[in-house]
């Protein structure tokens, strides 16, 4: 595969699979025979060791009772810190800067409550108009709690084409009225990867704190939050990190901010050595652990253990290299096989700007997704016209990609999609 050309044969895909250093990891996941799963950017597949980890935690509960908090394979009192240490290399952070806790939106509320300190004319928050809705809901709520009108104080940077946000346009909004910036690392529809280092540097030049939502990148793309001096970050663990539906989320706080009182304090914000003193004056932990709120959801953490153990065996840089190769192969096949069928590739073509999924646009996207599912391929629809297809380093083969494009071609030639209603499902 060179210069945008590709051999359109199954044999070539098999040759690529034979060279794929991740090929053996497919055996570590539950893959339904005869099906192709391309929705790992929405919910990652279950690895075969997850059940064992849940069983270990359940057995500790069964045999140790309350002593499971300090005994057993994974003492529950320290489990969030232990998993934070395992996850820190994925975002380029020190172990003490990452904690596995809460959910994505709860963690965002915590971080904004901690870092949004309006003063004088610095009252505004920058986001973007293409970000995931939950982030906007949270930011509006936080502004209202401070007595501000979100329509005036939440700046949503405009997109010129409905796909991408230009970094220059974000930087233009970094005025002396801005107190905080919250942006995604990757736009969830188009897969655009922001230049996090540049945006962070530009924000800090202007005295503005900046944080990132890493839901659509952590586990697929290396980040270097500490090196880049990012103030804070937060992300879920059920997409690329394969932690399971509703798995516990994570957050990062730059160590330069340790000592800040958490905006939303709770039982688990406490210094571990003081927590059971039962005093009414909180002594916050001197790590990212200070930004926990409540007791860890231990049973929901269990599957993530085995997933992070798998990530520890490979580098996130190698995962990224593999992901870029597979998304490039996907795009080359689409250009070769699906031209003149109404498809547009809506994700960035450049490696440095592309996230972990393909954004394939078509006016019949909803119906095409339904036809793909009938053909045993699991895609992901996003309004208004996007088919998201995510080749995952651990379990998507080049042959999967080749077959998907051939099936898409057949769906279009045979007009299979026409028998479906143009209406999305409750969960798309």
Phi, psi of 264 (to 5 degrees): -120, 90
Helices and strands (H, E) in the chain, number of each type: 13, 13
Task: Measure the CA–CA gap between 159 and 23, rounded to whole angstroms.
Answer: 38
Residues 6+ apart with CB under 8 A from 241: 44, 87, 90, 218, 219, 247, 304, 307, 308, 311
Q: Is 362 annotated as a binding residue?
A: no
Among 328, 426, 416, CA closest to 372: 416
Q: How many CA atoms lie within 13 A of 204 on its CB side?
A: 12
Inter-residue contact 127 to 183 (CB < 8 Å): yes
Strand bridging mode 380-382 / 386-389: antiparallel
Q: Is 295 annotated as a binding residue?
A: yes
Q: Is 105 annotated as a binding residue?
A: yes
Phi, psi of 270 (to 5 degrees): -70, 150
Task: Measure the CA–CA gap between 178 and 144, rounded to whole angstroms.
Answer: 16
Q: Is 280 annotated as a binding residue?
A: no
Among 376, 381, 374, 371, CA closest to 400: 376
Q: Is 132 annotated as a binding residue?
A: yes
Among 240, 331, 323, 189, CA closest to 41: 240
Residues 6+ apart with CB under 8 A from 183: 126, 127, 128, 131, 170, 194, 199, 210, 211, 212, 213
Among 192, 199, 123, 202, CA closest to 164: 192
Q: Is 70 annotated as a binding residue?
A: no
Among 268, 331, 309, CA closest to 102: 268
Task: Measure the CA–CA gap between 223 and 218, rounded to whole angstroms.
Answer: 8
User: In the chain, what's the furthest Cα-to-Cα distance?
Assistant: 70
What does each C-alpha distance from 409 to 9, 14, 183, 288, 422 come to in angstroms?
A: 14, 20, 36, 49, 19
Q: Which residues are annotated as a binding site for pyridoxal 5'-phosphate?
A: 104-105, 132-135, 213, 216, 238, 267, 295
Point out the annotated binding site: 104-105, 132-135, 213, 216, 238, 267, 295
């Amino acid at each position: 595969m060179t210069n945008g050309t590709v051999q359109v044969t199954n044999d070539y895909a098999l040759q690529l699979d034979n060279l794929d250093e991740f090929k053996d990891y497919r055996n570590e996941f539950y893959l339904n025979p005869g099906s192709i799963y391309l929705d790992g950017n929405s919910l990652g597949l279950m690895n075969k060791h997850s059940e064992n980890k849940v069983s270990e935690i359940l057995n500790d509960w069964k045999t140790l009772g309350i002593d499971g908090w300090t005994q057993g394979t994974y003492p529950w009192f320290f489990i969030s810190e232990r998993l934070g240490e395992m996850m820190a290399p994925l975002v380029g952070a020190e172990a003490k800067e990452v904690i596995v806790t809460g959910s994505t939106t709860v963690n965002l509320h915590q971080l904004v409550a901690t870092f949004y300190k309006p003063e004088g004319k610095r009252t505004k928050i920058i986001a973007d108009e293409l970000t995931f809705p939950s982030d906007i809901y949270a930011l509006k709520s936080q502004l209202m709690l401070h007595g501000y009108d979100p329509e005036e104080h939440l700046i949503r940077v405009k997109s010129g084409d409905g796909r991408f946000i230009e970094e220059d346009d974000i930087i233009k909004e970094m005025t002396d009225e801005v107190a905080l910036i919250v942006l995604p690392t990757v736009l969830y529809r188009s897969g655009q990867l922001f230049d996090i280092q540049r945006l962070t540097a530009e924000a800090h030049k202007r005295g503005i704190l900046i944080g990132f939502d890493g839901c659509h990148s952590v586990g697929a793309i290396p980040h270097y939050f500490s090196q880049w001096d990012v103030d804070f970050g937060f992300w879920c663990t059920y997409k690329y990190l394969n932690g399971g539906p509703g798995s516990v989320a994570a957050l990062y706080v730059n160590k330069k901010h340790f000592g800040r009182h958490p905006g939303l304090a709770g039982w688990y914000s406490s210094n571990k050595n003081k927590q059971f003193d039962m005093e009414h004056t909180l002594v916050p932990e001197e790590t990212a652990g200070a930004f926990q709120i409540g007791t860890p959801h231990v049973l929901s953490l269990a599957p993530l253990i085995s997933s992070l153990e798998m990530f520890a065996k490979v580098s996130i840089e190698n995962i990224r290299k593999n992901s870029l190769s597979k998304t490039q192969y996907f795009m080359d096949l689409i250009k070769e096989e699906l031209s003149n069928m109404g498809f547009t590739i809506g994700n960035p073509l450049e490696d440095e700007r592309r996230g972990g999924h393909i954004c394939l646009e078509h006016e019949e996207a909803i119906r095409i997704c339904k036809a793909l599912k009938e053909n045993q391929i699991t895609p992901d629809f996003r309004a208004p016209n996007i088919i998201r297809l995510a080749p995952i380093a651990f379990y998507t083969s080049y042959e999967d990609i080749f077959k998907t494009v051939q099936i898409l071609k057949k769906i279009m030639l045979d007009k299979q999609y026409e028998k479906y209603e143009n209406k999305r499902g409750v969960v798309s």
